[in-house]
């Protein structure tokens, strides 16, 4: 993976920024995404920047990459990975294209030149890229179907700025760390989620998943279109056929994503999703005479302090040895110390550029730092629950039928943190309700679906556009902060498309979460792993963590200049120190300790980024 950025503007503006440190600073801000190589391309009214993490064809994949064909010049900056590179190359060779190397970057550029904006429908991968056409003076932008790779932009001052991360945009004087009423509402009513397309900072937007389009500098106009979204279709497959298709799709996606010229490993929790990926990866690598490295996270004290709940019934620690022994993998367990988690909260803010999922972000950041010592590429089981219906809110009818986002039933609680003067101006409930209703209205459902099938598709779309995007944000920023590329095979769009059309009774086989996936993978895993009840991403259960974040919050309260008081009531923060530990902020992974941590991140973010609030 890499970092990309650029500006399209009047030639005088580009020349002026090129003479200063602006582009150098932008490039420096994303070097963690690409420490191996960097490059800058300037052509009149265009500046393109690239920081590369070299994964495939280390020598010939350098960027920005320029291709001259038919007397016309095209220059590409690209962040991502294509998983159908070989098929595309074969098609392009038949059309007369010639290649210098074997990188997916070169294939992507030739694909664009051959098919222009129609190339995106042919791509299987995770990507965000920009192509500058020197002859038309237009910039093409595109983002992968599901939104695994980020692409932010700001269109102001007669120019377009784009970047992989918000911090890079903030290096440019046209983009200031300002939040208005909408941004403030996002932080309190929605965070750590974000409304699709919203960058929280004023003027910052994000290209939506499955979207692409052109920016015309002369007209100062960005025109984006949706080239892909989930669609409901009639599926006449029997359950047995669906089982076979799912097995093939999942296995094919994993194998495609093992392509690399650098070391590859897998996350292994001992749960279903990571175990499937690890089992397929182990077989594939064994054919090449290689041993798989599997990576596990644990927390000091969890062996003593873990207590089983309905939401988190079992600890991973008992299952990881079973699976790693079955695989014969080189097992690496990273143990996170409680005292590491508070400093990492702030580091996670610098990685995400926003307050995030508190210690869930922080622990993943620490985990990825350690993984990077072993491998450059990792495969992870994210998004299987959204696509196959694994979360409790899919299966518990009481939760499923409840109005609103199932993981965020706490709008009134959230709003209670606002300062009294701001609470009078902001309608948190109305804001959240509007976004919920919009998502339902945009959910594709065939006319003859019954109420239950309609609701299940609404649940998929809610998860797809909201909860899953928060997790993908987390995965990208926390991993790329340490120059680690994490791939997510369950995000293969072919899997998502097919599963959306299947009836719920298939997915809920034997009334077990992800029953269809379990049935499809019989024989691949030990039964105790295959049928293990879902347990979410692990977090610390050590009471020392609550003590640590509480002490940190007391320091914030003691400083009357703490910037968080511009947004949040002091009384509400003090109330957190004696709050019921079951009070949710964002799903069951963020209760009171994590709410405290989120407020710590919010305060740090406002101070570190110099955030200014405008009405």
Which residues participate in catalysis according to the annotation? 2
- Residue 125 CA to residue 120 CA, distance in Å, equals 10
Q: Where are the beta strands (DSSP E) in 405-538?
A: 485-487
What are the helix and strand counts (H, E) for the chain? 27, 19
Q: Please list the alpha-helical segments (H only) found in 483-576.
A: 493-501, 504-507, 515-520, 527-530, 543-558, 570-576
Q: Which residues contact 311 (CB under 8 A, 6 or more apart)?
A: 392, 536, 588
Matching residue, tokens 């694909």: 111
Q: List phi, psi (to 5°) of 474.
A: -60, -50
**How far is residue 572's CA from residue 555's CA, in Å, rounded to a whole number?**
15
- Compute the distance between CA of residue 367 and CA of residue 34 in angstroms, rounded to an integer: 19
Could you identify the residue written with the tokens 């779309």?
461
Sign of CA dihedral 394, 399, 400, 406: negative
Going by C-alpha positions, the residue among 291, 296, 298, 297 that lies closest to residue 264 is 291
Which of the 8 DSSP states describes residue 356? -
Report which secondary-structure segment, H or E, holds 473. helix 468-480
Query: By the 8 A CB rule, do 267 and 379 touch?
Result: yes
CA angle 214/215/221 to nearest 5° reads: 120
- Tell me the C-alpha to C-alpha distance, in Å, between residue 87 and each of 93, 202, 245: 10, 42, 21
Distance CA 107, CA 101 (A): 9
H/E stretch holding 80 reads strand 72-82
What are the backbone angles phi and psi of residue 151, rounded to the nearest 5°?
-155, 100
| 356 in Cβ contact with 344 (< 8 Å) | no
205-206 vs 264-267, strand pairing mode: unpaired
Residue with tokens 């009294």: 420
Q: Are 129 and 113 in contact (CB under 8 A)?
A: no
Least Cα distance to 50 among 40, 58, 60 occurs for 40
Can you give the three-state secondary structure of 565-601, one letter per residue? Answer: HHCECHHHHHHHCCCCCCCCCCCCCCCHHHHHHHHHH
Residue 133 and residue 76: Cα distance in Å, rounded?
A: 9
């Amino acid at each position: 993976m890499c970092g990309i950025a650029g500006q399209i503007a009047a030639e005088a503006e580009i020349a002026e920024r090129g003479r200063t440190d602006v582009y150098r600073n932008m490039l420096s801000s994303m070097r963690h995404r690409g420490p191996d190589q960097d490059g800058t391309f300037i052509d009149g009214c265009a500046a393109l920047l690239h920081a590369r993490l070299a994964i495939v064809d280390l020598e010939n994949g350098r960027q920005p990459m320029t291709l001259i064909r038919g007397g016309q010049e095209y220059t590409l900056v690209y962040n991502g990975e294509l998983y159908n590179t070989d098929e595309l190359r074969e098609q392009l060779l038949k059309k007369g294209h010639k290649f210098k190397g074997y990188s997916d970057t070169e294939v992507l550029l030739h694909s664009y030149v051959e098919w222009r904006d129609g190339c995106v429908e042919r791509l299987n991968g995770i990507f965000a890229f920009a192509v500058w056409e020197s002859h038309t003076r237009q910039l093409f932008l595109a983002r992968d179907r599901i939104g695994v790779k980020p692409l932010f932009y700001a269109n102001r001052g007669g120019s377009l700025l784009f970047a992989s991360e918000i911090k890079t945009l903030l290096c440019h004087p046209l983009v200031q760390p300002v939040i208005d009423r909408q941004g403030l509402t996002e932080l309190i009513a929605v965070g750590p989620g974000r409304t699709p397309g919203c960058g929280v900072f004023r003027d910052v937007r994000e290209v939506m998943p499955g979207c692409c389009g052109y920016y015309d500098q002369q007209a100062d106009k960005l025109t984006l279109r949706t080239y892909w979204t989930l669609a409901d279709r009639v599926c006449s497959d029997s359950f047995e056929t669906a089982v076979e298709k799912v097995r093939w799709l999942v296995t094919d996606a994993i194998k495609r994503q093992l392509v690399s010229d650098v070391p590859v490993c897998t996350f292994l929790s001992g749960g279903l999703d990571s175990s499937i990926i690890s089992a397929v990866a182990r077989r594939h690598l064994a054919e090449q005479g290689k041993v798989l490295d599997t990576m596990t996270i644990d927390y000091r004290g969890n062996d003593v302090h873990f207590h089983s709940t309905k939401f988190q019934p079992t600890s991973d620690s008992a299952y990881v040895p079973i699976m790693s022994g079955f695989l014969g993998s080189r097992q690496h367990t990273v143990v996170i110390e409680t005292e590491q988690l508070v400093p990492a909260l702030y580091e996670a803010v610098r990685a995400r550029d926003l307050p995030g999922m508190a210690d869930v972000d922080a622990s993943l950041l620490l985990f990825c730092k350690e993984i990077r010592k072993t491998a450059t590429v990792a495969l992870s089981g994210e998004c299987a629950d959204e696509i196959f219906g694994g979360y409790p809110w899919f299966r518990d009818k009481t939760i499923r039928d409840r109005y609103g986002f199932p993981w965020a039933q706490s709008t009134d609680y959230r709003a209670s943190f606002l300062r009294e003067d701001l609470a009078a101006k902001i309608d948190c409930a109305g804001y959240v309700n509007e976004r919920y209703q919009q998502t339902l209205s945009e959910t594709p459902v065939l006319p003859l679906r019954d109420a239950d099938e309609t609701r299940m598709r609404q649940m998929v779309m809610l998860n797809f556009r909201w909860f899953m995007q928060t997790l993908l944000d987390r995965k990208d920023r926390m991993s790329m902060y340490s120059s680690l590329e994490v791939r997510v095979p369950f995000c293969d769009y072919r899997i998502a498309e097919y599963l959306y059309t299947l009836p719920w009774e298939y997915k809920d086989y034997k009334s077990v979460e992800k029953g269809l996936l379990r049935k499809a993978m019989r024989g691949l895993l030990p039964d105790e792993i295959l049928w293990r009840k879902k347990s979410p991403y692990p977090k610390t259960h050590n009471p020392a963590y609550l003590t640590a974040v509480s002490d940190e919050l007391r320091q914030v309260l003691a400083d009357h200049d703490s910037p968080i008081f511009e947004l949040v009531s002091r009384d509400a923060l003090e109330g957190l120190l004696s709050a019921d530990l079951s009070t949710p902020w964002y799903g069951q992974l963020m209760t009171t300790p994590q709410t405290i941590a989120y407020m710590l991140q919010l305060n740090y973010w406002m101070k570190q980024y110099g955030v200014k609030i405008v009405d």
